[in-house]
Amino acid sequence: MNGVVCRICGDRCETEAIRFRLKTGAVSIPEIDDALCTGCGACQFGCPVDAVTIRYQAAGARAA
The pLDDT tens digits of the residues spanning 5-53 come to 789 999 999 999 999 988 788 788 889 998 999 999 999 998 888 888 8
For the chain, domain boundaries: 8-46
Cβ 12 vs Cβ 42: under 8 Å: yes
DSSP annotation string for 6-31 = --HHHHH-TT--EEEE--TTSPPEEE
Cβ 8 vs Cβ 47: under 8 Å: yes
What residue type is assigned to position 52 of the chain?
V
Residue 64 has pLDDT above 70, yes or no: no
Phi and psi angles of residue 13, each rounded to the nearest 5 degrees, phi first: -80, 110
Distance CA 19, CA 61 (A): 23
